Structure 1
């Protein structure tokens, strides 16, 4: 994230209540993964705080390297798998599931495996430049992989029949493209911080879902 470790820790602290509230609103097992997204993003920002601390010399290089690896594993290997599966599980429209969400889930799995192999077989470094963290792994994104990553992480929510989840997808797409325009070398760090705030829409979706389940079905 931009600015400092304090910014990452502040984002983690701000999103933590959202994460707790989202998990408390779960009423069906199918909602558990989507409800966990704010918690994943909050923990993600917390981990990047230690990357920053390492870059500033406040923690050991070993701890910084571990934090860098965990951060990139979540951002590049976990999210393209977790997001489409989470959205697939809560999608009530069978046509959307078959036509869009299943293919995107398969694509996400392929992207996640590709990223995992890249992270485990190439050097991983992080550096600070102009108030952002630049991860060396970001430079390994080929054009096809980058497009597939965007489709896997933003496409499932955009294809959802649930209004708030669609807004979540649109917000993430705008944030990701905006982060790339601001500084493509730092896209992972900048976008993941933005996505943490966008995950507030997941809480709104869960709250609306609970209200909808309590409403009587209109007579026909």
Structure 2
């Protein structure tokens, strides 16, 4: 993550283990996308570990490649993937229908940021104990707001308790990281979101409360 290669590799390795357990705990095909989130975060953290190593070993070509791979996760994958995964997990009802526009928003944000990544290259550089990703288009207020809606509000719309917890923690971490680490926001928030994704494990192992017909319809 933003602190060191060791921190990134440690977080990535930890999430590989958690992600494997979560995938094994998923019982139905519609659960697999949501269950894969910790594993995908693990890959992203391992990629950032390599980004750190490129600074230490002066490997500019590898740095460019890994920076763009990391940015694909942070900019393109998550705004489209998270609302879609939550939508697939949700039972039929008003909550599921309410997620449809959020899925569309996430897809639009993802498409826009993919285009911007192609047109404007992202540059990573070490600043003290942090990695700064020079991606100024990401900070447009409207894009940031829609990104936040797709990645944190979509879980909050779920009827599943631990999915809501994941969304709430992601939203709280967004505020804290943006306040304390604005210059390194992409790296730091992705790190904390990665660690917070471990709560997804509890969605699959804790008993699911029975829902009344009224709750399902809502």
Q: TM range, normalised to the smaller chain?
A: over 0.9
Question: For residues 83 and 112 of structure 1, do their structure 2 counterparts lie closer, same or farther at Cα, with a shift above 3 Å needed?
Answer: same
Aligned mate of 1:195, from 190, 193, 196: 193
- Number of the residue aligned with 1:71: 70
- Tell me how far 1:93 sits from its aligned partner: 4.6
Instruction: Kindly report the root-mean-square deviation, in angstroms, between the aligned alpha carbons of the 2 structures.
Output: 1.7
For residues 91-130 of structure 1, the C-alpha deviation after alignment (integer angstroms, 9 at most, x for no partner) is 115101112x111100000000011001000022001113
- 1:124-135 mapped onto 2 (5 Å cutoff): 124-135=122-133
- Number of the residue aligned with 1:12: 12
* Contact in 2 for aligned 1:45/1:193 (Cα 8 Å): yes
For structure 1, the residue ranges without an aligned partner over 5 or more in a row are: none
Output the TM-score relative to the length of structure 2: 0.92
Give me the whole-angstrom Cα distance separating, in 2, the residues matched to 1:83 and 1:3: 26
- Number of the residue aligned with 2:51: 51
- Number of the residue aligned with 1:62: 61
Output the TM-score relative to the length of structure 1: 0.91
Query: Which segment is superposed worse, 146-155 or 179-188?
Result: 179-188
Give me the whole-angstrom Cα distance separating, in 1, the residues matched to 2:5 and 2:144: 27
Give me the whole-angstrom Cα distance separating, in 2, the residues matched to 1:103 and 1:140: 21
- 1:81-160 mapped onto 2 (5 Å cutoff): 81-99=80-98, 101-138=99-136, 140-160=138-158
SS at match of 2:36: helix
Give me the whole-angstrom Cα distance separating, in 2, the residues matched to 1:212 and 1:150: 27
- Number of the residue aligned with 2:24: 24
For structure 2, the residue ranges without an aligned partner over 5 or more in a row are: 213-218
How many residue pairs end up in the alignment? 211
SS at match of 2:3: coil
- Number of the residue aligned with 2:35: 35
Give me the whole-angstrom Cα distance separating, in 2, the residues matched to 1:169 and 1:81: 15
